Copies of this chain bind each other. A is one copy, B any other.
Amino acid sequence: MRIAVDAMGGDNAPKAIVEGVMLAKKEFPDIAFQLYGKENEIKKYVTDESQITIIHTDEKINSDDEPVKAIRRKKTASMVLAAQAVKEGRADAIFSAGNTGALLAAGLFIVGRIKGIDRPGLMSTMPVIGKDAGFDMLDLGANADNKPEHLVNYAVLGTFYAQKVRGINTPRVGLLNNGTEETKGSELTKKAFELLSAEPSIHFIGNVEARELLNGAADVVVTDGFTGNAVLKSIEGTALNLMGLLKSSIMDAGVKGKLGAVLLKDALRNVKNEMDYAKHGGAVLFGLKAPVIKTHGSTGPEAVAYTIKQIHTMLETDVVAQLVAHYETTTATEVSQSE
């Protein structure tokens, strides 16, 4: 399998990206990596050239570039070249830690949508606290406005991912809503509830509330991109603030605090590990003809390696091809039924 890597994307690029690739290739000798970016800079971190091809380009997309413009005008940017390789069948997946909006645009306009999926969604596997588990949530912000039908797409996408990539037989799909009762919700979620209830290819368990997400209320959580984005950022912001507050409170407690912190080192590390969802990989722009994966701009080599593992599983299980087949069958059935 061939992964196109935007080596220039992210705050610590190309160092963190290339070091992550070096970590990952030890584990996955079956991956051929294509590193797009400045050859001289990339080469500094290539400790072993096997499985590696560098495709040189001087141009890159910056974090403050306007996404769609950047994709259209910077035709030789590392991200654009990587996406082009996927489009033209020279690579099987693309990975970037760069400008999220630009990667979404590259995914939509260069890699292209699966037929039957109107609005691909951004999906991450988030942590379930106290269990070695996670839940997949989408859309996390690829779209600012969604229709009820999109949420059904997300339920199907999330189900396929949870089954194939995370190995859950019958993933429980929940609809994020403002109450668990069937009658609750906005115009959007009420209609989505109806459609999800009628969808045969998923196991819909009803509404779930944001308060219960980290408790594992569902294996797949579907929501519109605006709400998903707000929920993701609320969870991240609260966790960061609480851990920061704990740290500063410990510091302020002087010698006693420092001693306490030493004794609680393992416990505190456990808390941090549980919340760290980078181990599940990056965010997938899901619903495209190939895996398009994004990690945080501030990502380090280990998170890059986790993400490559995730892409490896996506390619190994051929989840995208199965989605394509699913939508072809569904569309064919619908057409034959309507004839």
Contact present for A213 and B242 (CB under 8 Å): no
The verdict on A176 contacting chain B, using a C-beta distance below 8 Å, is yes
Query: Complex formed: what's the CA distance from A141 to B226 in Å?
Result: 16
A sample of 11 more A-B contacts (CB under 8 A), given A211-B236, A213-B237, A234-B234, is: A144-B178, A178-B229, A185-B226, A215-B237, A226-B227, A231-B231, A246-B268, A250-B264, A253-B264, A260-B263, A264-B264
Which residues of A are interface residues toward B (Cβ below 8 A)?
A: 129-130, 141, 144-145, 176, 178, 184-187, 189, 209-215, 223, 225-227, 229-246, 248-250, 252-253, 256-257, 259-264, 266-268, 270-271, 274-275
- Take A230-B210, A231-B231, A233-B210 as given contacts and tell me if A267 and B253 are in contact as well, using a CB distance cutoff of 8 Å: yes
10 contacts between A and B (CB under 8 A): A144-B185, A186-B226, A213-B234, A214-B237, A214-B238, A215-B237, A231-B231, A231-B234, A235-B238, A260-B262
Which residues of B sit under 8 angstroms from A238, Cβ to Cβ?
Answer: 214, 234-235, 238-239, 242
A20 to chain B, nearest CB (A): 24
Other-chain residue from B209, B230, B244, B264 in contact with A231 (beta carbon distance below 8 A): B230
Contact present for B245 and A242 (CB under 8 Å): no
Other-chain residue from B215, B235, B259, B268 in contact with A234 (beta carbon distance below 8 A): B235
Contact present for B178 and A245 (CB under 8 Å): no
> This chain: how many copies in the complex?
2
Which residues of B sit under 8 angstroms from A210, Cβ to Cβ?
Answer: 229-234, 237
A223 to chain B, nearest CB (A): 8
A313 to chain B, nearest CB (A): 27
- Take A129-B241, A245-B271 as given contacts and tell me if A226 and B178 are in contact as well, using a CB distance cutoff of 8 Å: yes
Which residues of B sit under 8 angstroms from A227, Cβ to Cβ?
Answer: 226-227, 230
Which residues of B sit under 8 angstroms from A243, Cβ to Cβ?
Answer: 242
A109 to chain B, nearest CB (A): 19
A139 to chain B, nearest CB (A): 11
A contact face: mostly helix, strand, loop, or mixed: helix
Query: Complex formed: what's the CA distance from A244 to B130 in Å?
Result: 9
- Take A211-B237, A230-B230, A233-B210 as given contacts and tell me if A267 and B242 are in contact as well, using a CB distance cutoff of 8 Å: no
Which residues of B sit under 8 angstroms from A259, Cβ to Cβ?
Answer: 260, 263
A260 to chain B, nearest CB (A): 3
Other-chain residue from B213, B257, B266 in contact with A264 (beta carbon distance below 8 A): B257
Which residues of B sit under 8 angstroms from A232, Cβ to Cβ?
Answer: 210
Contact present for A211 and B234 (CB under 8 Å): yes
A105 to chain B, nearest CB (A): 14
Contact present for B245 and A274 (CB under 8 Å): yes
A6 to chain B, nearest CB (A): 21
A63 to chain B, nearest CB (A): 12
Other-chain residue from B186, B244, B274 in contact with A129 (beta carbon distance below 8 A): B244
Contact present for A212 and B229 (CB under 8 Å): no
Contact present for A257 and B249 (CB under 8 Å): no
Contact present for A267 and B271 (CB under 8 Å): no
